[in-house]
Amino acid sequence: MTSSQRLGPALAAIAVALPMIAVIIAVVQGASGADPELWSHLREHVLGRVALNTVILVLGVVAIAMALGTSLAWLTAACDFPGRSFFSWALLLPMAMPAYVLAFVAVAALDYAGAVPMALRGWFGDGLWLPPIRSTAGVIGVLALAGYPYVYLMARGAFLTHGARALEAAQSLGLGPWQGLFRVAVPLARPWLAGGAALVAMETLADFGAVSIFNYDTFTTAIYQAWFALFSIETALGLALLLLLFVAAALAIERAARGRARYSAADSGARTALRVGLSGARGWAATGYASLVFALGFALPALALARWAWKVAPIDLDARYVDYALRTVGLAGMAAFACLTLALVLGYATRQSAGRITQAAARVATLGYAVPGAVLAVGVVTVLGATDQGFRALAGGEGLWLQGTVFALLLGYVARFLAVAHGPVQGGFARIRPSLEEAARGLGLGARELLARLHLPLLGAGIGTAVLLVFVDVMKEMPITLMTRPFGWDTLAVRVFEMTAEGDWERAALPSLAIVIAGLLPVALLTRRMERAARAA
């Protein structure tokens, strides 16, 4: 291939990576250019508390999510107990529940004046001591319940595909099934467990909604306050840079924990070994454990939401809700379309040229999954502030060209969620053998026809998955929307934030319920794929 043929794809990949590159440059430059006095103020008054809070939160959430995810994955993958096949997919449902929804439901139900403590005091008397929900333990518990499905999913996949063979080998060497768990299955699943833990850590570092409901100060809430209470974008940029360093540290730890292990892809011939039957009390204990997690993580919150929503619907459900819903769907649709288009360009570019520049650009373009929304928001505003200055210098006037427009919001969404669309699209491209393209070209198809008659039909499922995932992620998204939306562009998630900020839990239930129902779609997709994989194995 000539160099001009390679240049095109490389340029396309770099163009797709531009938003992310611009945001990172803006954050690093803005933070390093900040006033030294500001830094010393931050160090004295904010940093110690916020950093400590963040570290405690991440460690606690990861530890509990790992324990829950790994144990539940082992129970549903390798053991048998009453209700096992139901729980094997039902335990994924908490994924549909954004952490901030779980958080306000927990606070509303368990706070001193909440329904549960009231009822308990009614039975046991007013002197009954109950652990306070608004505490470090409370916020850790909520985020762990929201995050454990990532670990569960990864661990279960590893146990099902790789565990069976290795466990049989262990059994033939004289190890019992429980010895097998700790000596074979868990060490074997280490790369996947590390990956699951990293996802939970990313989500926790990025969380804004849940911690603000608990008034638990972390970097994300500090960024928001620096900007909207202190009106200091420099402070916000400085905090954003520090948060990015935390993310980088978490990723580095994950790499180290994964070790040198690079296990081959699952051999499709692997069959699930005989499950360990848990009989009698042990079986029911397993059922009880799985039921408890399912109830706390999904069933009870969903019921509470439905009840409150039912109660407030007659007064609350008016024309404004149509507006919220339409805005949300419109934004999510635009973001999904933009992410899909860029993911297709990126996928096509990396397929046409595997050059080092193209690969690097693709990696940068998909960094968004790791960069918290609060960081992206300040980055986007800074970047667009600079471009607006350029426009004003050219055209004169005082106007804001891009800042505070829908474009700013979409830029943030694309930077954050391009990775979400990139995964399925890239997977779809990988499944199209190069000889198919050659066959089509040999039959006379040019580049455009190739896309229309070969790539798009074959990418079909991947494109659908990409659009769905981005759509739902944008619906749930809170910090970027909150910090960069144009005036009046309130989405369902913004409505949830505003109602919970006022402690008006019941009126936050209606928009939350809509978000949870939309969130069930990708989870359904995931469970269907999981079942198909299980059937194929």
Q: Could you say whether residue 36 binds another protein (CB under 8 A)?
A: no
Q: How far is the CB of 449 from another protein (least distance, A)?
A: 8
Among 49, 255, 363, 453, binds another protein (CB under 8 A): 453
Q: How far is the CB of 446 from another protein (least distance, A)?
A: 5
Per CB under 8 A, which region of 57-65, 263-271, 405-413, 431-439 contacts another protein?
431-439
| Cα separation, 360 vs 135, whole angstroms | 43
- 253 vs 461 by CB, closer to another protein: 461
Q: Could you say whether residue 4 binds another protein (CB under 8 A)?
A: no
Q: Could you say whether residue 454 binds another protein (CB under 8 A)?
A: yes
Per CB under 8 A, which region of 115-123, 244-252, 392-400, 455-463 contacts another protein?
455-463
Among 393, 394, 435, 488, binds another protein (CB under 8 A): 435
Number of H helices, E strands in the chain: 26, 2
- To the nearest 10 degrees (0 to 180), the angle between helices 406-430 and 356-365 is 130
- 273 vs 450 by CB, closer to another protein: 450
| Cα separation, 19 vs 380, whole angstroms | 8
Q: How far is the CB of 18 from another protein (least distance, A)?
A: 31
Per CB under 8 A, which region of 55-63, 201-209, 367-375, 457-465 contacts another protein?
457-465
Rounded to 5 degrees, φ, ψ at 175 are -90, 135
Q: How far is the CB of 333 from another protein (least distance, A)?
A: 26
Nearest residue to 420 (alpha-carbon basis) of 340, 358, 484: 340
| Cα separation, 26 vs 221, whole angstroms | 20
Q: How far is the CB of 353 from another protein (least distance, A)?
A: 15
Q: How far is the CB of 1 from another protein (least distance, A)?
A: 8
Segment 291 to 310, residues that bind another protein, using CB under 8 A: none
Q: Could you say whether residue 532 binds another protein (CB under 8 A)?
A: no
Q: Could you say whether residue 438 binds another protein (CB under 8 A)?
A: yes
Q: How far is the CB of 3 from another protein (least distance, A)?
A: 13
Q: Could you say whether residue 51 binds another protein (CB under 8 A)?
A: no
DSSP3 helix / strand / coil % (the chain, rounded to 5): 80, 0, 20
Q: How far is the CB of 453 from another protein (least distance, A)?
A: 8
- 2 vs 264 by CB, closer to another protein: 2
Per CB under 8 A, which region of 74-82, 168-176, 247-255, 440-448 contacts another protein?
440-448
Q: Could you say whether residue 444 binds another protein (CB under 8 A)?
A: yes
- 76 vs 465 by CB, closer to another protein: 465
**3-state class of 172 per DSSP?**
helix
- 45 vs 431 by CB, closer to another protein: 431
Q: Could you say whether residue 445 binds another protein (CB under 8 A)?
A: yes
Tokens of 310: 């039912």
Nearest residue to 483 (alpha-carbon basis) of 387, 386, 402, 374: 374
Residues in the chain: 537
Tokens 């938003």 -> residue: 19
| Cα separation, 492 vs 498, whole angstroms | 10
- 280 vs 444 by CB, closer to another protein: 444
Nearest residue to 428 (alpha-carbon basis) of 455, 447, 453: 455
Tokens of 108: 């509303």
- The DSSP result for 431-491, as a single string, is TS-HHHHHHHHHTT--HHHHIIIIIHHHHHHHHHHHHHHHHHHHHH--HHHHHHPPTT---
Q: Could you say whether residue 442 binds another protein (CB under 8 A)?
A: yes
| Cα separation, 436 vs 69, whole angstroms | 41
Q: Could you say whether residue 446 binds another protein (CB under 8 A)?
A: yes
Structural contact between residues 97 and 298, judged by C-beta atoms closer than 8 angstroms: yes
Query: Under rule CB under 8 A, how many of the chain's residues touch another protein?
Result: 18
Tokens of 8: 């095109």
CA atoms within 13 A on the CB side of 18: 10
Strand partners, 277: 80
**3-state class of 116 per DSSP?**
helix
Q: Could you say whether residue 457 binds another protein (CB under 8 A)?
A: yes
- The DSSP result for 18-62, as a single string, is HHHHHHHHHHHHHHHTS-HHHHHHHIIIIIHHHHHHHHHHHHHHH
Among 63, 436, 451, 526, binds another protein (CB under 8 A): 436
Q: How far is the CB of 272 from another protein (least distance, A)?
A: 24
Q: Which residues bind another protein (CB under 8 A)?
A: 2, 433, 435-436, 438-446, 453-454, 457-458, 460
